[in-house]
């Protein structure tokens, strides 16, 4: 085919230059994106949440969260008391890569975990909340999915029940969660679990960008839930708080 073979040299040069330009442009775009999203580094998110860095590299960007090359282990941790409860945000991940030269086998072991945790002053009966119809790629893990004592319960708010699945032991818990869940109605990633004196959110790698964009709202929802359970005034409110349901 003469048409396919005889590409003129000037055209070839244009195509090569444009391709290289596209590559350079995409790298610049990524760099600009990271610079624009400096508020989504671990340290910046901690500051936005009113937490102090305790461990790890604060420049790790949660919006562009990549694995490092080779074997490594990193832990990032920040904690503080932005409202009335002690809150911790931590992330740990590792890659252990072992190469067996003689058998030509490469074995890679990966770990990952990221949690927002809030310590309450009073214990609460176990519960777990997730979106009823999450996006297929940002489904949160359900830490209590294998527990038979948790049953889906209504909150008394039809809009909240249509959007979230609340599994709990104590029927007083879902209604107390309503003010907190109303803060998260616009979020595509929602996971709140609680047991004993602790509330937590399990963040997957796909959930991290959503959390980094709206960290303040997630924290406020946690604080609202804790205050609601303990019968304390809510941190963002227009009227009196609901009655306590803590055990």
**Residues that bind another protein in the complex, under the rule CB under 8 A:** 1-4, 6-8, 11, 14-15, 18-19, 21-22, 25-26, 29, 47-50, 82-83, 157, 178-179, 182-183, 185-188, 214, 216-217, 219-220, 223, 233-240
- Residue number, 203 or 219, with CB nearest to another protein: 219
The nearer residue to another protein, 36 or 145, going by C-beta atoms, is: 36
> Distances from the Cα of 75 to the Cαs of 54, 80, 154, 181, 226, in angstroms?
10, 17, 38, 29, 26
Q: How far is the CB of 198 from another protein (least distance, A)?
A: 19
Least distance CB 206 / another protein (angstroms): 15
Nearer to another protein, 15 or 106 (CB): 15
Q: Determine the Cα angle at 78 with ends 74 and 80, to 5°.
A: 165
Residue with Cβ nearer another protein (21 or 113): 21
* φ and ψ of 217, to 5 deg: -70, -40
Whole-number Å distance between alpha carbons of 113 and 135 = 20
Q: Does residue 90 sit in helix, strand or coil?
A: strand
Q: Residue 88 contacts by C-beta under 8 Å, 6 or more apart in sequence?
A: 51, 77, 78, 79, 115, 116, 117, 118, 119
Residue number with CB closer to another protein (45 or 168): 45
- Rounded-to-integer distance, Cα 177 and Cα 199, Å: 12
Nearest to another protein of 93, 229 (CB atom):
229
Q: How far is the CB of 116 from another protein (least distance, A)?
A: 13
Q: Could you give the CA distance from residue 187 to residue 153 in angstroms, rounded to a whole number?
A: 21
Taking the complex as a whole, the smallest distance from the CB of residue 227 to another protein amounts, in Å, to: 10
- Considering the complex, what minimum distance in angstroms separates the CB of residue 50 from another protein? 5
Cα–Cα distance for residue pair 239/164, rounded to 1 Å = 24
Tell me the Cα Rg of the chain.
23
CB of 21 to another protein, least distance (A): 6
Instruction: Show the tokens assigned to 10.
Output: 């000037």
């Amino acid at each position: 085919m003469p048409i396919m073979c005889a590409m003129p040299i000037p055209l070839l040069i244009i195509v090569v230059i444009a391709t290289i330009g596209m590559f350079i442009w995409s790298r610049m775009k990524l760099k600009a994106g990271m610079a624009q999203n400096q508020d989504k580094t671990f340290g910046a998110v901690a500051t936005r949440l009113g937490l102090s860095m305790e461990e790890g590299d604060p420049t790790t960007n949660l919006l562009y969260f990549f694995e490092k090359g080779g074997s490594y282990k990193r832990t990032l941790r920040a904690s503080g008391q932005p409202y009335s409860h002690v809150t911790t945000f931590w992330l740990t991940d590792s890659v252990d890569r072992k190469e067996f030269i003689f058998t030509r086998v490469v074995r890679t072991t990966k770990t990952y975990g990221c949690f927002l945790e809030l310590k309450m002053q009073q214990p609460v009966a176990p519960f777990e909340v997730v979106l009823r119809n999450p996006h297929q790629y940002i489904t949160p893990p359900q830490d209590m999915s294998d527990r038979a004592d948790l049953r889906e319960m209504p909150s008394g708010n039809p809009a909240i029940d249509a959007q979230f699945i609340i599994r709990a032991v104590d029927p007083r818990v879902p209604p107390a969660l309503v003010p907190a869940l109303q803060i998260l109605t616009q979020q595509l990633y929602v996971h709140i679990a609680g047991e004993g004196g602790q509330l937590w959110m399990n963040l997957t790698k796909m959930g991290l960008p959503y959390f980094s964009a709206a960290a303040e709202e997630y924290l406020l929802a946690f604080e609202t839930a804790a205050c609601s359970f303990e019968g304390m005034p809510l941190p963002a409110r227009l009227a009196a708080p609901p009655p306590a349901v803590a055990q």
